[in-house]
Amino acid sequence: MSIKEKIIKDLQAGPVKYKKLQSRYKATKKFFLAMEELYREGKITERNGYIHLVQPKEKKKNTDPSLMEGTVVKLTENFGFVRVAELEKDVFVSGKYMMGAVPGDQVLVKRMRSASRDLEGEIKEITKEKTNLVGIVTNVGRYISVQLKECQYVVMKAENHAPVVLDDIVLIDVTNRGTSHSRLGCVIKSVIGTVSSSQKAVQVLLAEKNVQTEFPQTVISEARKVIANTDLQAEFAKRTDLRYMPIFTIDSASTKDIDDAISIEKTEKGFRLGVHIADVSFYVKGSSEVDKTAYDRGTSIYFGDSVIPMLPKEYSNDVCSLNENSDRLAFSCFINLDSKGVITNYKFEKTVIRSRVKGVYSEINSILAGDISDEMKEKYSPVWRQIFVMKELFDLLRARRVRRGSMDIESDEAYIIFDEKGKAVDIKKRERGLSEMIIEEFMLCANNCAANLGKKANLPFVYRIHQEPDAEKLYTLKENLGRIGLSLTQDKNKSLQQAMSELLDKTRGTNLQNIVHKQVLRSQSKAKYSPDPIGHFGIVLEDYAHFTSPIRRYADLAIHRILSEYVAGANMEKMTKRFGKFAPNRAQQASNTELVAMTVERDATDIYKAEIMADHIGEVFTGTVSGVMSYGIYVVLENTVEGLVHISLLDMFNPILQEGYSLSCAISGETFKIGDVVSVKVIGTDILNGNVDFAMADTEIIDTPKTPKTKQRKSTEKRFEKEKGRKSPKKTKYRR
- 736 pLDDT band, cuts 50/70/90, is low
| Pair (562, 656) in one structural domain | no
Mean pLDDT of all residues in 534-542: 95
315: DSSP letter: I
- 715 pLDDT band, cuts 50/70/90, is very low
Q: Is residue 383 part of a domain?
A: yes
User: Angle at Cα 410 formed by Cα 408 and Cα 413, nearest 5°?
Assistant: 135
Amino acid at 501: S
| Pair (458, 482) in one structural domain | no
**How many whole angstroms from its chain centre is CA 384?**
36
The angle that helices 198-208 and 582-613 make with each other, rounded to 10 degrees, is: 160
Strands 677-686 and 671-673: unpaired
**What is the pTM (predicted TM-score) of this model?**
0.83
pLDDT at 4: 84
pLDDT tens by residue, 459-510: 999 999 999 998 888 998 998 898 888 999 888 888 999 999 999 999 988 8
Q: Is residue 189 part of a domain?
A: yes
Q: Is residue 733 part of a domain?
A: no
- Is 50 exceeded by the pLDDT of residue 553? yes
Q: Is residue 33 part of a domain?
A: yes
| Pair (187, 271) in one structural domain | no
Closest CA to 585 of 299, 298, 310: 298
pLDDT tens by residue, 353-362: 999 999 999 9
Q: Is residue 200 part of a domain?
A: no
| Pair (161, 254) in one structural domain | no
Task: Give the chain's domain count.
Answer: 6
Closest CA to 527 of 581, 454, 590: 590
Q: What is the DSSP string of 110-153?
A: EEE--SS-SSEEEEEEEEE---SEEEEEEE-SSS-EEEETT-TT
pLDDT at 555: 97
Amino acid at 567: V
Cβ distance 416 to 305 under 8 Å? yes
> How many residues comprise the chain?
736
Q: Is residue 609 part of a domain?
A: no
pLDDT at 57: 56
Q: What is the DSSP string of 263-296?
A: EEEE-SSEEEEEEEEE-HHHHS-TTSHHHHHHHH
Closest CA to 273 of 384, 385, 390: 390
**How many whole angstroms from its chain centre is CA 341?**
33
Mean pLDDT of all residues in 115-131: 88
Exposed/middle/buried for residue 237 (C-beta within 10 Å: 0-12, 13-18, 19+): exposed
| Pair (144, 239) in one structural domain | no
Write down which residue in 128, 157, 174 finishes a domain. Answer: 128
Closest CA to 604 of 250, 206, 219, 298: 206
| Pair (360, 278) in one structural domain | yes
In the chain, how many H helices and how many E strands? Answer: 20, 34
Q: Is residue 202 part of a domain?
A: no
| Pair (368, 400) in one structural domain | yes
b/e per residue 246-273 (b: at least 16 CB within 10 A): bbbbbbeeebebbbbbbbbeeeeebbbb
Write down which residue in 111, 128, 145 finishes a domain. Answer: 128
pLDDT tens by residue, 240-252: 999 999 999 999 9
| Pair (240, 362) in one structural domain | yes
| Pair (361, 435) in one structural domain | yes
Q: Which of 73-82, 92-101, 474-483, 705-714 has the lowest mean pLDDT?
A: 705-714
**Which domain does 710 fall in, by range?**
617-723
| Pair (627, 718) in one structural domain | yes
Q: Is residue 592 part of a domain?
A: yes
pLDDT tens by residue, 625-640: 998 998 899 999 999 9
- 705 pLDDT band, cuts 50/70/90, is very low
- Is 90 exceeded by the pLDDT of residue 56? no
Cβ distance 475 to 522 under 8 Å? no
- 63 pLDDT band, cuts 50/70/90, is low
| Pair (640, 593) in one structural domain | no
pLDDT at 710: 34
| Pair (597, 451) in one structural domain | yes
In sequence order, what are the residues at sequence separation of 6 or more whose Cβ sits closer than 8 angstroms to the Cβ of residue 48? 159, 160
Distance linking the first and last C-alpha atoms of the chain: 45
Strands 662-664 and 656-658: antiparallel
- Alpha helices, DSSP H, located in 543-690: 554-567, 572-579, 582-613
Closest CA to 126 of 40, 184, 170: 184
CATH of residue 656: 2.40.50.140
Task: Return mean pLDDT, the chain.
Answer: 89
Write down which residue in 80, 105, 128 finishes a domain. Answer: 128
